[in-house]
Amino acid sequence: MKFLLSILLASTLTGIIDNIAAVNRLKKEAEEAFRAKEYATAIDHYKVLLDSFDVKDENIRTNLAHAYLMSGDTAAAQQNYTQLINSEDKQIKSLAYQQMGVVNADQKKYKEALSFFKESLKADPTNEEARYNYELVKKLLKEQEQNQQQNKDQQKQDQNDKKEEEKDQQQKDEQNQQGDDQKQQEQQQGEEGKQDDQQKNDQSKQDEQKPGEPKDQQQKEGQEQQEGEKKEDDSMPSVSDKLKEMNISEEKAKMILDAMRNSEMQYIQQNRRKVTQPRDKSKPDW
């Protein structure tokens, strides 16, 4: 019975020794892969140690988080760092908070990063790397806020400038429209003026002509009227012909006209004397 217990104990010790040897071998291989920047291999070894061998070593999880971060898998890195922020080891806890701050700073989440660096310093005030990162991110956060405010002011200014440009463009469009309307109105008035002038010219031509008759017809009728009057004058007998018919010479006719004129003058003078003769006041008006 004692022999059997001795065999079992020896076998158990051998298994433990083998596990320790395997754990140490995997740790060594993982560290060598990490230094060689073979992060995928390092991650596999660290996961075997934690999951298969169930090694309770926070340093191994810290290295696994580092390997994830260096490989670019920030989500997995943050997940493992989060499991370490509750560590009782102040240095490991401070380092976990510090690395969470680094991840957020790389993503330009400066407020979150600053908060993680504060927690890192609370956990371990001697963590100078966390202190340096805290001061650096504090400046970056201030610059970011200033840039954001400048961007807001610039956007506001751009919006105001755009509104002013739209307002100026609207005024220009209205002025152009008014100018076009005025030109159109002037053009319309000019056309109406031309029509009025044309109507006046047509009316003056109509006034010169008889209604319903062309000008050539009027000229023709005028010529015919003149020719008719001339023919009438030609058909009328002359004074000489009439005197010959009356058997009176021209000298005798002149004497008769002179005598008639003298008689007429005497009659006129007598009438004048009657009008200018003064009235006798001793006689009645009638």
Q: What is the pLDDT of residues 202-253, one digit of tens each?
A: 776 666 555 544 455 556 666 666 665 555 555 555 666 665 667 667 777 7
Domain limits of the chain?
A: 10-83, 90-187
Q: What percent of the chain has pLDDT over 90?
A: 50
Yes or no: say if 138 and 157 are a contact pair by the CB < 8 Å rule. Answer: no
Query: What would the pLDDT profile of 27-47 be if each residue is shown by its tens digit?
Result: 999 999 999 999 999 999 999
Q: What angle do CA 56, 61, 63 make, to 5 degrees?
A: 135
CATH topology for the 10-83 domain: 1.25.40
Predicted pLDDT at 228: 58
Query: What would the pLDDT profile of 115-174 be if each residue is shown by its tens digit?
Result: 999 999 999 999 999 999 999 999 999 999 999 999 999 999 999 999 988 988 988 888
Considering only CA atoms, which of 96, 100, 19 is closest in space to residue 58? 96
Which ranges of 107-249 does DSSP label H, i.e. alpha helix? Answer: 110-123, 128-208, 215-235, 239-246
Query: What would the pLDDT profile of 259-268 be if each residue is shown by its tens digit?
Result: 777 766 666 6
Span 90-187 CATH architecture: Alpha Horseshoe (1.25)
Question: Is 208 exposed, middle or buried (CB count within 10 Å of its CB: 0-12, 13-18, 19+)?
Answer: exposed
Yes or no: say if 64 and 92 are a contact pair by the CB < 8 Å rule. Answer: no
Tell me whether domains 10-83 and 90-187 share a fold: yes
Yes or no: say if 110 and 148 are a contact pair by the CB < 8 Å rule. Answer: no
Residues 6+ apart with CB under 8 A from 19: 53
Q: Give CA–CA dist 254/131, Å, rounded.
A: 156
Taking 60 as the threshold, does the pLDDT of residue 105 lie above it? yes
Q: Give CA–CA dist 64/80, Å, rounded.
A: 8
Neighbours of 24 (CB within 10 A): 10
Give DSSP secondary structure letters for 84-136. TTT-S-HHHHHHHHHHHHHHHHHTT-HHHHHHHHHHHHHH-TT-HHHHHHHHH
Q: Give CA–CA dist 100/118, Å, rounded.
A: 11
* Distances, alpha carbon 187 to alpha carbons 193, 194, 219, 221, 263, in Å: 10, 10, 40, 44, 78
Yes or no: say if 97 and 85 are a contact pair by the CB < 8 Å rule. Answer: yes
